[in-house]
């Protein structure tokens, strides 16, 4: 619980977290935090989106069309880079929570990303970094020369440098932004509820700029110019972040959360033969617990048992001999996230197709609008526009309506949002399969190309799904995790994106071999991409069923305060927030 002093200083008493300004003094809420500070922080994320999306949404066309790499290999490169970026978010969250704090981690990561964007500009500008141009005659005779290892080396260094920086930004910028609001102040809490929606709306604007403006510049002016704009955007993002330093509220890092998790698991194993006391008040640190004790995963309570090794008072303070109830409950919170985490992965596997095979489909379709030929990568604008529309509708219509119906301040719970997103993504693959079959039949049978705008429905469905799923997952992992593990939990969320991209790479590899290279071919007219889409649709439906089972069993974290009565026992007093299940049913 955050306590607000009479002179405007803020201290988190329940969690033991002090909120300070950039000089290390307790914050003056009238001069720090709020939407101004959060807006400057979102500027850094906007720059990261312009940089990363300007690369991801059109990289596959560069790998296939300029570097002459096979479609399956190109798709794997894109998904591996994006997977690594999001996986490194977990490392970025750990570093922030353990040592540097969110501000320093975001600032350093943004500088690294800017360096990577500059290297990418160089790699795509130098002529010697590209193989000879592949003409239509060479394509017919299969004489195209693929880029060599030396030509790919600088490109890979640049891409993975951006991945390192992007991962550090993504895992901390949303948590740092939410730090600018005091959740115990009703007015600021309402603002923070909308922060996640506006956060995603903001970065969608950056993504839209990337797929419309940067993709056009890359295809019609030059890759170096397009990536150069991304580099400039990152430099400006760093400058904006640093200029806002006096306005921010900072929460000091609380030490390595992974160390806490490891110690609790180790001690619960070492004490596995001990019996958990019938009264939890006998557990170490119960009376001073900053998190309410729960009965779930009770085997972990053994880590807090006071055994013969704890006969000396100093041993009770040694975390390698006995854990506290607070530490045990924090580990329980993290474990409760894992089942939902596993069911979020496939959404991003489906989403990754929008960056790879859907863009490849567009290159085989009619992209003319009058005399203008729309770049294949720019069709992703429909994905971003849909996200913007649904994010706005959610904030202005869906959430207020759901709030009236459920009497829940959130309107839609985080898991309800995720579930809606999973449904949209599965339907998207059904539509994608139907459209691809129609496209291929026209190309093979009639030797005609259908309009690339047939791809709009699948972009629309995935975009609508992302507007629900991304915000729902981000909110779920931040709100449900222990306060001092917020950055790591954001990294855990980003690892679902990472695993989604890696699962996509794995599926492409397996399908490519199992189908004996018949489904996924560089010439989509000779492949069966529609069967690959049907496979993803079936997997998505099965995943949704599993999600419903796990979500119905999840118990939301309860905001509570702790009182100590005359008998030294504890009474847990529930806050106004009710636990709301995935179906919207309220529980006391």
DSSP per residue over 34-100, as a string?
A: HHHHHHHHHHHHHHHHHHHHHHHTTHHHHHHHTS---HHHHHHHHHHHHHHHHHHHHHHHHHIIIII
**In this prediction, what percent of the chain has a pLDDT beyond 70?**
85
The C-alpha angle 508, 510, 513, rounded to 5 degrees, equals 105
- Extract the tokens encoding 457: 């429905």
Give the pLDDT band (50/70/90) at residue 45. Answer: confident
pLDDT at residue 10, rounded to an integer:
43
| Predicted local confidence at residue 526, as pLDDT | 80
Question: In this predicted structure, what is the pLDDT of residue 136?
Answer: 57
> Does 234 or 92 have the greater pLDDT score?
234
Among 205-209, 240-244, 481-485, the minimum mean pLDDT is found in 481-485
pTM, whole model, 2 decimals? 0.70
- Give residue 76's pLDDT: 83
DSSP string, 102-144: HHHHHHHHHHHHHHHHHHHHHHHHSGGGSPPP--HHHHHTT-P
Q: Which range, of 43-47, 304-308, 374-378, 539-543, averages the lowest pLDDT?
A: 304-308
- CB within 8 A of 381, min separation 6: which ones? 208, 211, 212
- At 424 the pLDDT is 93
Q: What is the mean pLDDT of the segment spanning 346-374?
A: 86
Q: How far is CA 531 from CA 64, 119, 511, in A?
A: 22, 38, 10
**What is the pLDDT at residue 312?**
62
The half-sphere exposure of 582 on its side-chain side, counting CA atoms within 13 A, is 20
Residues 6 or more apart in contact with residue 294 via CB below 8 angstroms: 329, 332
Give 532-570 pLDDT, tens digit per residue. 899 999 999 999 999 999 988 887 766 443 333 333 333
Least confident of 119-123, 218-222, 436-440, 515-519: 515-519
The more confidently predicted of residues 221 and 576 is 221
Look at residue 135 in the predicted model and tell me its pLDDT.
Answer: 63
Which residue has tokens 């379709």?
365
The arithmetic mean of pLDDT across residues 324-338, rounded, is: 85
Task: Give the count of alpha carbons within 13 A of 13, CB side only.
Answer: 12
The residues facing 331 across adjacent strands are none
């Amino acid at each position: 619980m955050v306590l607000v002093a009479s002179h405007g200083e803020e201290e988190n008493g329940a969690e033991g977290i002090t909120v300070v300004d950039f000089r290390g003094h307790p914050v003056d809420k009238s001069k720090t935090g709020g939407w101004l500070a959060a807006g400057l922080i979102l500027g850094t994320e906007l720059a990261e989106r312009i940089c990363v999306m300007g690369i991801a949404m059109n990289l596959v066309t560069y790998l296939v069309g300029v570097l002459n790499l096979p479609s399956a290999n190109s798709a794997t490169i894109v998904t591996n880079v994006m997977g690594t970026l999001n996986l490194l978010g977990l490392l970025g969250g750990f570093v922030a929570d353990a040592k540097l704090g969110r501000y320093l981690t975001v600032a350093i990561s943004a500088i690294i990303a800017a360096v990577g964007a500059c290297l990418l500009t160089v790699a795509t500008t130098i002529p010697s970094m590209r193989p000879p141009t592949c003409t239509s005659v060479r394509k017919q005779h299969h004489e195209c020369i693929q880029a060599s290892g030396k030509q790919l080396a600088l490109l890979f260094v640049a891409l993975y440098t951006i991945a390192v920086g992007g991962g550090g930004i993504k895992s901390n910028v949303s948590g740092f932004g939410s730090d600018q609001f005091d959740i115990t102040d009703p007015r600021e809490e309402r603002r923070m509820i909308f922060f996640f929606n506006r956060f995603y709306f903001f970065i969608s604007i950056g993504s839209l700029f990337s797929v419309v403006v940067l993709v056009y510049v890359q295809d019609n002016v030059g890759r170096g110019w397009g990536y150069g704009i991304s580099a400039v955007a990152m430099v400006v993002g760093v400058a904006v972040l640093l200029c806002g330093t006096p306005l921010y509220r900072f929460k000091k890092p609380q030490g390595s959360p992974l160390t806490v998790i490891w110690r609790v698991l180790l001690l619960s194993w070492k004490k596995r033969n001990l019996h958990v006391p019938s009264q939890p008040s006998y557990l170490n640190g119960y009376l001073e617990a900053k998190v309410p004790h729960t009965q779930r995963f009770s085997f972990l309570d053994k880590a807090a048992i006071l055994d013969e090794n704890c006969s000396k008072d100093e041993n009770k303070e040694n975390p390698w001999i006995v854990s506290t109830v607070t530490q045990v409950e924090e580990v329980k919170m993290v474990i409760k996230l894992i089942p939902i985490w596993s069911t979020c992965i496939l959404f991003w596997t489906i989403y990754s197709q929008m960056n790879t095979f859907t863009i490849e489909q567009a290159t085989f379709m009619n992209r003319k609008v009058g005399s203008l030929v729309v770049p294949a990568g720019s069709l992703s604008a429909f994905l971003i526009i849909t996200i913007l529309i649904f994010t706005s509708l959610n904030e202005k219509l869906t959430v207020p309506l759901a709030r009236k119906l459920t009497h829940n301040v959130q309107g839609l719970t985080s898991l309800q949002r995720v579930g809606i997103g999973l449904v949209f993504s599965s339907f998207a693959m059904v539509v994608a399969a139907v459209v691809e079959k129609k496209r291929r039949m026209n190309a093979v049978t009639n030797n005609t190309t259908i309009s690339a705008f047939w791809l709009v429905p699948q972009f629309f469905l995935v975009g609508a799904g992302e507007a629900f799923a991304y915000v729902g997952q981000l909110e779920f992992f931040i709100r449900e995790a222990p306060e001092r593990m917020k950055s790591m939990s954001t990294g855990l969320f980003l690892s679902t994106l990472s695993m989604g991209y890696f699962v996509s790479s794995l599926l492409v590899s397996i399908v490519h071999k199992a189908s004996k290279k018949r489904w996924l071919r560089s010439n989509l007219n000779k492949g069966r991409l529609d069967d690959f889409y049907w496979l993803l649709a079936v997997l998505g439906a099965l995943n949704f069923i599993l999600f419903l089972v796990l979500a119905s069993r999840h118990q939301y974290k309860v905001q509570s305060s702790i009182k100590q009565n005359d008998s030294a026992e504890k009474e847990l007093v529930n806050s106004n927030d009710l636990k709301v299940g995935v179906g919207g049913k309220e529980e006391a």
